Structure 1
Amino acid sequence: MPDEPNRAAEARAIDWLVRQRDPAFDDWDGFTEWLAEDASHAAVYDAIASLDRDLDALPRTPPIAMIAEAPPPRRLSRRRWFGGAIAAALIGAVGLSVPGLLGSDGRIETAAGEHRAITLADGSTIDINGGSVIEIDDDRPRFARLESGEAMFRVAHRDGDPFVVETGGARIVDLGTAFNVVRRDRTTSVAVSEGVVLYNPDRDNVRLTAGKGLDARDGASAPPVVKDVDIAHVGGWRSGLLVYNGAPLSVVAEDLRRTAAIQIRIAPNAAAVSFRGALIVDKDRGRTVADLAALSGTRAERRGEGWILTR
């Protein structure tokens, strides 16, 4: 339709917005040139920036002990796809309290695209992404084990009683904070949005404060790699926002499979491509894949129930 906004411009505006969050950002000349390329770019950027400012008003987690029912299908204005996609990502999220709803062994498994939220006896909450396995121990109320996948932890503070998350061979010790943990392919990634956590205090003893994260490979001789993270985007998968700074396409594809049940294969000739930018999980999964292709310089082709990205 003639009045439909330019999806590529919207995706590019999000990319500029994410890049400008970095204190080291200095490509203002490039940003100005992009605005000057088309008279509509400034309006698109302003609309995206306005919606981004509203993100802080959204709930950090789905309601606990409730099932979020999907509203009747409706067609959103394309002008509002950014905000609509975030809201859509919450549809189908499941919240539960621990008693009576876990397996007999305290094991929780989520299917790809399924999100759950649990509240522990001490008031701590765990948001579990799709394609994940987590274990809770009734005899250890301040403990959880992430076998695979991704989870966001918001830990209730208790002096002298740390909360421990185990994943792989690592222990993440916390006294009261919020942090996200991903376990994939013998690698553990941690990102902290509030407070302080200790990663492997008996071995690596890495202290992570808010705005810091790390990647650690099982059996690696080198210490974990500590990095800066954007606090606003830690656990962003819960609201349908995925942000990357040079991640392999294979990692992005895995995250989309886990978060939204989107199946993407990476062709060998695109295996070395890295992705930097933001993705919104849209109700129309094809739009999300199209944005990924546009921002990564690849081509998306539909293959059966999924897609393949090629150079």
Structure 2
Amino acid sequence: MHDAANSAAEAQAIDWIIRQRDPAFGDWDDFADWLAEDPAHAEVYDALASLDQDLDALPPESAPSVVIRPREQARPSRRLWFGGAVVAALVAMVSLPNLGLFGNPDRIETAAGEHRTIELADGSKIEINGASIVELDQDRPRFARLEAGEAMFHVVHRESDPFVVEAGTSRIVDLGTAFNVVRRDRQTAVAVSEGVVLYNPQRDKVRITAGKAIEANDDDATPPQVRDVDIANVGAWRSGLLVYNAASLATVADDLRRTAGIEISVSAAAADRSFSGALVIDKDRARTVADLAALSGTTAERRGDGWVLTR
């Protein structure tokens, strides 16, 4: 009976994966209900979806689209595409026991282009971008560590029990808020869309309110400077929009790899170029890369499965 149940679950999971390759697929509520029927469904689906992602023989158009219900804001004119094959945790909140399918249940790792949303026991929510690692602690339910990548935190505020996020040497304490954190190399960036966070309260004591952001290097001896940001662009990667102000092309390339699974390298000749503007992550990856090249004054050359930006 157990083998029969597993075979049935695998057949159903394969059916969902095939159906989700159709850009017109919209049966997300029934899919969420199927996941909720049995904890094994999420495990079987994630395992098969991960295998499906690794099959190089599949044409790009076969990859299922990830659907996220965006916040109310102006939408780009083109239909947005969100890369990644593993979508179970995007369309339904995934319970913590189902996260560690192949190891530590408190360590959530996403592949490039994969987005995952989890809901914690206190009602707080973490939206995790691709190529990211988030660690939780069963003994500290109001704690998360962003080891690498990017995540948007929606925190249920408790005056006597603040939520703490660690990223590198940085410590971010919730004062009732929603905020986005990026961890790359030895740098941490924090942008707040709602409420307030306190950055490194034991050392820097930097208060970041809604519409403000910081970027801090681990080796900096002085507190980071607070700058203005557009609230609508905080965590905009969730709706397929990346916005920059004089960012390096290496940073943009890293964001595109993480958010959409697009592999871009920057030649030495173009390494000094900066980029300001907005990129819409299109279903046609080549179009997104072409937009970046045109807006940055570079040329995009196709190399294998990715692109190289040159002068």
> The TM-score by the shorter chain falls in which range?
0.7 to 0.9
Select the structure with the greater relative contact order (CA < 8 A; seq sep ≥ 6): 1
**TM-score, normalising length from structure 1?**
0.73
Shift of 1:277: 0.2
Aligned to 2:179: 179
Secondary structure of the equivalent of 2:141? strand
Cα RMSD, aligned residues only: 2.4
What is the percentage of aligned positions where both structures have the same residue? 64
Shift of 1:177: 0.8
Q: How far did residue 102 of structure 1 move?
A: 2.4
Q: 2:97 aligns with which of 97, 100, 103?
A: 100
Q: Secondary structure at the match of 1:195?
A: strand
Equivalent AA in structure 2 for residue 136 of structure 1: L
SS of residue paired to 2:98: coil
Stretch moving more, 220-229 or 231-240 = 220-229
CA contact (8 A) 2:83 2:260 kept: no
**Shift of the alpha carbon at 1:98?**
3.2
Equivalence map 1:98-247=2 (5 Å): 98-103=95-100, 104-247=104-247
Give the match for residue 89 of structure 1: 82
Q: Is the 8 A contact 1:94 1:117 kept in 2?
A: no
Deviation of 1:220 after TM superposition, in Å, equals 1.4
Count the aligned residue pairs: 240
Query: For 1:223 and 1:179, how far apart are their aligned partners in 2?
Result: 19
The 5 A counterparts of 1:295-306 are: 295-306=295-306
Q: Matched residues in 2 for 1:137 and 1:221: separation?
A: 29
Do the aligned partners of residues 90 and 297 (structure 1) sit closer, same or farther apart at CA in structure 2, a change above 3 Å counting?
A: closer
Q: Which secondary structure does the structure 2 equivalent of 1:177 belong to?
A: strand
How big is each residue's C-alpha offset from its partner over 1:229-265, in whole Å with a ceiling of 9 and x where there is no partner? 1100100111100000000000000000000110001
Whole-Å Cα distance in 2 between the matches of residues 192 and 122 of structure 1?
20
Q: Which structure 2 segments of 5+ residues have no match?
A: 1-31, 37-41, 46-62, 66-74
Could you list the runs of 5+ residues in structure 1 that have no partner in the other structure? 1-62, 72-80
- Structure 1 distance, partners of 2:222, 2:137, is 32
Residues 127 and 151 of structure 2 are in contact (CA less than 8 Å); yes or no, is this contact kept in structure 1?
yes
The AA in structure 2 aligned to 1:89 is F
CA contact under 8 A between 1:94 and 1:115: conserved in structure 2? no
Counterpart secondary structure, 1:100? helix
Query: Could you tell me which amino acid in structure 2 is paired with residue 155 of structure 1?
Result: V
Amino acid at match of 2:79: A
Contact 1:214 1:227 in 2 (8 A): yes
